[in-house]
Amino acid sequence: MSLAFQASQALPRGTDYLRILPELVLSIFGMIIMVLDPVVDQRRNQKALGTLALIGSLAAIASTLWQARAPGLAFWNMVQVDTFSVFFHFLITTITAVVILTSYEYMEVQQIRVGEYYALILFGAVGMCLMSSAVELVLIFIALEISSISTYILAGFRRRAAISSEASIKYFLLGSFATAFFLYGVALMFGATGSTSIPTIEQHLRSGSIPVLAYVAIALMFVGLGFKVAAAPFHVWTPDVYEGAPAPIVGFMSTAPKAAVFAVLLRIMFQIHAPGRLGLIWVAAALSMTLGNIGALVQQNVKRLLAYSSIAHAGYLLVAFAALPQNGIPSAMFYTASYAAMNIGAFAVVSHFGGAGERYVTLEDYSGLGRRSPVLAAALTLFLLSLIGIPITAGFFAKFYVFSAALQANLVGLVIIGVINSAVAAYYYLRVIVVVYMHDPRDESVLPAVPLELGAALAITALTTIYLGLLPGRVLDYASRSAGDLLH
């Protein structure tokens, strides 16, 4: 931090605030919700607060787009707005908006008092956005904490379900444990290079021989961040937490914070040219893919199944980190966007279908869904096919680009492990589809109609999944430009 203050002026300039405009917008809306919560009518406030949050996230999207026109540094070089940060801002704020859309019905059906729920989502988004634009390790740590603490609380929002509180406390304790590793890593990095600013660290590491301390620092930071993205061997918390947390929140925390942490990892691994990257990533990626997919094979609970699937997908994504920067960065960015679309979509279906108290979450409950609700079943099938990586869905090109990036870096072994894993993964995703379409419904009762907001969320995620699967060019182009910005 001390180095940052070497910058000339003592007070932040006006433009500095523009560079954190999305974060400001989100914070303000979050605070308004907190203030309004006690004063508005208890029964009607459910929707009103949600709508306010939705407006907030849309405003954040708008300000992200507006901010994109004026890239640059702010706050004594701690925040950097460039195409890279704009990409992740846009992704995270969009995820936030879609998750809010999926929450309306869920909160009503579960009869959970909304209270600070929406505010916490917005605050979490603030942290995640900040993570993607911060170029200073201590600020990244603070942003990481903002994001994490919100999600710890959100995980326990099903107050009546013991399993949810358990999830929350487990997530909190283990998460704090992991964050400590990250902070320790930051400290060691400061010790090794005398700075916490990413560009300075890069210069320092490039100029001379790399001290062992830097290696250890990278290792510790990777432990902390690996925990957050549920990469093996730091993934053990994932199934329990995903099973207990509210379904829309699982959709949220399996995508938005992950995207943000992957953004940080991209900076640390590629911008800093992290020493020892290859072996570390190689093993973590291979382990995550294998453990995630094998673990998912025997799951009966759909939420747990998707939890293991998310471990596996973290593994596929890590493959990109082992590749060369000019291919690895865009393919990783494309993967986060694709994964967000399909995973939120899948959890939107899960949260609608779960019913009061999330009663229907096992595979058997899904039998005959194809007959009971063709639209819901078709949407779920699309998302699952995309998670497998079938062409004309986002998942196909996501995997394709990641694996081809790895191949260009001559990582044949890792790609083979990845492809074998994809084949294994097809089994458990297809099992869900088989149950949905081939099995007779156990329960013939009519499903509640899909409400407008959830329908919109499903439509957005489904269309994005197909769009990225049909026309990946535009997004990939943008990601490639961002990679250029990051590396220049």
Per the CB < 8 A criterion, the answer to whether 311 and 230 are in contact is yes
What number of other Cβ atoms are within 10 A of residue 221's Cβ? Answer: 27
Residue type, 341: A
Which stretch, 66-74, 139-147, 225-233, 437-445, contacts other proteins (CB under 8 A)? 225-233
Candidates 7, 31, 162, 298: give the one binding other proteins (CB under 8 A).
298
**From residue 42 to residue 81, what is the string marking binding to other proteins with x (rule CB under 8 A)?**
----------------------------------------
Per the CB < 8 A criterion, the answer to whether 22 and 63 are in contact is yes
Which stretch, 104-112, 177-185, 197-205, 388-396, contacts other proteins (CB under 8 A)? 177-185
Which stretch, 30-38, 69-77, 87-95, 473-481, contacts other proteins (CB under 8 A)? 473-481
Candidates 237, 262, 403, 429: give the one binding other proteins (CB under 8 A).
237
| Tokens found for residue 177 | 């444990």
Please, which residues have CB within 8 angstroms of residue 387's CB and are 6 or more apart in sequence? 309, 313, 342, 343, 346, 395, 425, 429
Per the CB < 8 A criterion, the answer to whether 301 and 279 are in contact is no
Residue 235 Cβ vs other proteins, minimum distance, rounded to whole Å: 9
By CB under 8 A, tell whether 466 contacts other proteins. Answer: no
By CB under 8 A, tell whether 162 contacts other proteins. Answer: no
| Tokens found for residue 107 | 């909160």
The radius of gyration of the chain's CA atoms, rounded to the nearest angstrom, is: 21
Residue 20 Cβ vs other proteins, minimum distance, rounded to whole Å: 32
Tracing tokens 């605050």 back to the chain, one arrives at 123
Candidates 214, 247, 380, 394: give the one binding other proteins (CB under 8 A).
214
Please, which residues have CB within 8 angstroms of residue 108's CB and are 6 or more apart in sequence? 46
Please, which residues have CB within 8 angstroms of residue 377's CB and are 6 or more apart in sequence? 369, 370, 436, 437
By CB under 8 A, tell whether 432 contacts other proteins. Answer: no
Of 114 and 220, the one with the shorter C-beta distance to other proteins is 220
Helices (H), 355-471: 369-372, 374-388, 394-408, 412-438, 452-470
Q: Phi/psi at 79 (nearest 5 deg)?
A: -120, 135
Candidates 246, 295, 325, 328: give the one binding other proteins (CB under 8 A).
295
Please, which residues have CB within 8 angstroms of residue 488's CB and are 6 or more apart in sequence? none
By CB under 8 A, tell whether 220 contacts other proteins. Answer: yes
**From residue 304 to residue 343, what is the string marking binding to other proteins with x (rule CB under 8 A)?**
----------------------------------------
Of 3 and 392, the one with the shorter C-beta distance to other proteins is 392
By CB under 8 A, tell whether 215 contacts other proteins. Answer: yes
Nearest to 361 by CA among 256, 245, 228: 245
By CB under 8 A, tell whether 177 contacts other proteins. Answer: yes
Candidates 239, 246, 325, 418: give the one binding other proteins (CB under 8 A).
239
Burial 39-57 (b: 16+ CB within 10 A, else e): eeeeeebbeebbebbbebb
Candidates 31, 70, 297, 449: give the one binding other proteins (CB under 8 A).
297
By CB under 8 A, tell whether 459 contacts other proteins. Answer: no
By CB under 8 A, tell whether 291 contacts other proteins. Answer: yes
**Residues 223, 133, 157: CA angle, nearest 5 degrees:** 65
By CB under 8 A, tell whether 403 contacts other proteins. Answer: no
Nearest to 456 by CA among 46, 54, 38: 54
Nearest to 94 by CA among 388, 478, 464: 464
What torsion, rounded to 10 degrees, do the Cα atoms 453, 456, 458, 463 define?
Answer: -170
By CB under 8 A, tell whether 181 contacts other proteins. Answer: yes
Q: How far apart are CA 228 and CA 226, in angstroms?
A: 5
Candidates 16, 108, 145, 240: give the one binding other proteins (CB under 8 A).
240
By CB under 8 A, tell whether 378 contacts other proteins. Answer: no
Which stretch, 37-45, 50-58, 170-178, 451-459, contacts other proteins (CB under 8 A)? 170-178
By CB under 8 A, tell whether 201 contacts other proteins. Answer: no
By CB under 8 A, tell whether 170 contacts other proteins. Answer: yes
| Tokens found for residue 347 | 């959890």
Which stretch, 63-71, 141-149, 227-235, 443-451, contacts other proteins (CB under 8 A)? 227-235
**Residues 284, 286, 291: CA angle, nearest 5 degrees:** 90
Of 448 and 473, the one with the shorter C-beta distance to other proteins is 473
**Residues 225, 170, 296: CA angle, nearest 5 degrees:** 75
Total number of residues that touch other proteins (CB under 8 A): 48
Q: How far apart are CA 410 and CA 60, in angstroms?
A: 40
Residue 116 Cβ vs other proteins, minimum distance, rounded to whole Å: 26
By CB under 8 A, tell whether 276 contacts other proteins. Answer: yes
Candidates 107, 210, 230, 286: give the one binding other proteins (CB under 8 A).
210
Residues belonging to the chain: 488
Residue type, 319: V
Residue 178 Cβ vs other proteins, minimum distance, rounded to whole Å: 6
Which stretches of the chain bind other proteins, using CB under 8 A? Answer: 170, 173-174, 177-178, 181, 210-212, 214-216, 218-220, 222-223, 227, 232-234, 236-237, 239-240, 275-276, 279-280, 283, 291, 294-298, 401, 404, 408, 424, 427, 470-474, 476-477
